[in-house]
Amino acid sequence: MRSGDVLVVVLVLGVLLIWGGIAFRHWFENPPKKQKVQAPLGEPDFEPNEVTELLEGAGFDVLAAKARIPIVMTLNDREQFQSRLYIDYFAEKSDELFLVKVARERKPLELTGTGIRDALLHYYLLYPEAAGVLYVDMDAHKIKKFTFDIEV
């Protein structure tokens, strides 16, 4: 190698180090976003029933039914647990997407801040593009619309 070759190699290595440092700093300050779970929208694949009729009577368009969201939890990097969340329906009104949960007799909704948070907030967090969660109580023939404003 000639003396000029060493200078070129040092300059190239210096440029690569600076470029790598800038790229790392950008990645560190703006980490990649987690991929959002997509709402299973498209052709409705469900039979009309009392719930869909109640929603449509209130002006909602029912888009999809029975979404199953698998969840894998890991304890201490060794033990895995599996579970799932179910969203009963996806509905739309005035170009706003709503998640729909149907009331269950064995698991009634407690109308307190804590009860609503524990029962419905995790659905909203899965779909941040949703305008809120609709809670359908077929015994009372009522639809309750919950919206969430989270301050961070």
For the segment 1-38, what is each residue's pLDDT rounded down to a tens digit? 676 778 888 888 999 999 988 888 888 787 666 555 45
> For 78-125, how does the pLDDT look when each residue is reduced to its tens digit (9 = 90+)?
899 999 988 888 998 888 889 999 988 888 888 899 998 998 998 898
Query: Taking Cα atoms as reference points, which of 114, 116, 121, 120 lies closest to residue 101?
Result: 120
Q: Which CATH code is given to the segment(s) 50-146?
A: 3.40.1350
2 burial level (CB within 10 Å; 0-12, 13-18, 19+): exposed
Quote the pLDDT of residue 83: 93
